């Protein structure tokens, strides 16, 4: 499984999928974006990633757009670029809300926050009510000179024809196998892993990546369950330590998982068991859990120092046995 996600997918990731997209990649990089583009295709084609990539092409200040390195690209990637407006479903919502459209229209009526073009990404526009789509029409029709819209949809039938007719439509289909293989390898998977992932979701890199993420999350949960969540006595520590030996590359997400669980366990302690904590930390005192939580924060800091992962993991295992399971050691 991958050691690290690359920070910025390069334009090459999206080349060779369709001639129309190849043309658009060049147009956006050269500042010839259409006023409004809608990317249409089933789920799993990385439409959102492509929309963000095209948007960054417009905002990037380097010559090779999007470079992923300049201040504009970095702010676009972190979601803090003042001229990049993203409208997407919130939390467990199944649709975009009319209030989101209203807020967007209010923002569009103001002067752009930064110099240069303003880019608006609206993901899954098909989940907007017809009324909300109608409200958008005027902006799509008479875009400010510097505004550029990028919409996505997995269901073109649910997009008003008046909206569609104001957009250039990019229809995406299944990715060619070799392009998908290349993308998965660039995202850190070995050739064999990429082939295996592609087999389960032919032509749909987004679906393959989601499966991989779930597998990774399951493996991490399993490792935590067999180590940090199960140690109780001193004799449990050496085997747990052995299991954690090779987990250095997953240390960040693993510590995040522990942190999350410590918070759940603390909530559980205060709720009288109403919030159920599924790990062995259920029933520990809030005081003990706070000490463990502080040790997890400390472990995060140690990761960026010279302390070895093994030493960090061992220290954490000892703290857990001592604080949560009152194991005496000196
Ligand atoms: Zn840039």
Q: What is the mean pLDDT of residues 98-113?
A: 90
Residue 275 has pLDDT above 70, yes or no: no
Residue 6 has pLDDT above 50, yes or no: no
pLDDT for the residue numbered 86: 97
Residue 146's pLDDT band (boundaries 50, 70, 90)? confident
Return d(Cα 185, Cα 199) in angstroms, integer.
Answer: 14
Rg, the chain, Cα only: 24
Q: Distance, CA 214 to ligand 1 centroid (Å)?
A: 31
187 vs 46, residue with greater confidence:
46
Question: Which is nearest to 31 in space by CA: 108, 146, 140?
Answer: 146
Domain ranges of the chain: 11-173, 176-222, 227-323
Of the chain, the end-to-end C-alpha distance in Å amounts to: 39
Q: What is the mean pLDDT of residues 219-243?
A: 94
Residue 4's pLDDT band (boundaries 50, 70, 90)? very low
Token digits for 241?
């330590």
Q: Distance, CA 117 to ligand 1 centroid (Å)?
A: 14
Topology, domain 11-173: Rossmann fold (3.40.50)
Q: Distance, CA 63 to ligand 1 centroid (Å)?
A: 8
pLDDT for the residue numbered 231: 93
Q: What is the mean pLDDT of residues 51-78?
A: 94
DSSP string covering 44-71, please? TS-HHHHHHHHHHHHH--SSSSS-S-SH
Q: What is the mean pLDDT of residues 277-282?
A: 72
Read off the pTM: 0.76
Q: Distance, CA 115 to ligand 1 centroid (Å)?
A: 15
Q: Is 326 helix (H, G, I), strand (E, B) or coil?
A: coil
pLDDT for the residue numbered 7: 40
Q: Distance, CA 83 to ligand 1 centroid (Å)?
A: 14
Note the Cα 288 to chain centre separation in Å: 33
pLDDT for the residue numbered 326: 84
Q: Is 129 helix (H, G, I), strand (E, B) or coil?
A: coil
Return d(Cα 54, Cα 36) in angstroms, integer.
Answer: 12
Q: Distance, CA 325 to ligand 1 centroid (Å)?
A: 51
Q: Distance, CA 34 to ligand 1 centroid (Å)?
A: 20
The contacts of residue 67 (CB under 8 Å, 6+ apart) are 60, 73
Note the Cα 263 to chain centre separation in Å: 22
Q: What is the mean pLDDT of residues 200-227?
A: 93
Residue 93's pLDDT band (boundaries 50, 70, 90)? confident
Return d(Cα 140, Cα 137) in angstroms, integer.
Answer: 5
Token digits for 125?
């526009």
């Amino acid at each position: 499984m991958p050691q690290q996600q690359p920070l910025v997918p390069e334009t090459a990731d999206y080349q060779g999928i369709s001639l129309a997209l190849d043309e658009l990649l060049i147009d956006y990089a050269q500042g010839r974006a259409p006023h409004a583009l809608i990317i249409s295709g089933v789920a799993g084609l990385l439409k959102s990633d492509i929309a963000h990539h095209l948007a960054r092409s417009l905002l990037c200040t380097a010559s090779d757009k999007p470079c992923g390195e300049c201040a504009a690209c970095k702010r676009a990637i972190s979601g803090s670029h003042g001229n990049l407006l993203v409208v997407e479903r919130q939390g467990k919502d199944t649709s975009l809300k009319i209030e989101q459209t209203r807020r967007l229209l209010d923002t569009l009526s103001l002067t752009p926050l930064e110099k240069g073009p303003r880019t608006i990404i609206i993901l899954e526009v098909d989940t907007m009510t017809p009324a909300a789509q109608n409200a958008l029409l005027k902006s799509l029709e008479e875009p400010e000179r510097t505004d550029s819209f990028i919409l996505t949809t997995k269901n073109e039938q649910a997009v008003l024809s008046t909206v569609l007719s104001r957009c250039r439509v990019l229809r995406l289909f299944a990715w060619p196998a070799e392009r998908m293989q290349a993308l998965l390898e660039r995202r850190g998977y070995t050739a064999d892993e990429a082939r295996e992932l592609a087999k389960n979701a032919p032509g749909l890199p987004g679906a393959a990546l989601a499966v991989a993420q779930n597998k990774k999350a399951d493996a991490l949960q399993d490792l935590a369950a067999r180590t940090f969540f199960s140690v109780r006595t001193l004799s449990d520590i050496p085997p747990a330590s052995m299991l954690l030996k090779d987990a250095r590359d997953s240390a960040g997400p693993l510590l995040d998982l522990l942190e999350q669980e410590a918070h759940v366990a603390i909530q559980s302690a205060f709720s009288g068991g109403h919030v159920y904590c599924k790990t062995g930390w259920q029933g520990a005192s809030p005081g003990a859990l706070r000490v463990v939580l502080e040790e997890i924060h400390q472990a995060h800091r140690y990761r960026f120092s010279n302390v070895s992962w093994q030493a960090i993991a061992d220290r954490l295992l000892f703290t857990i046995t001592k604080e949560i399971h009152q194991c005496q050691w000196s």
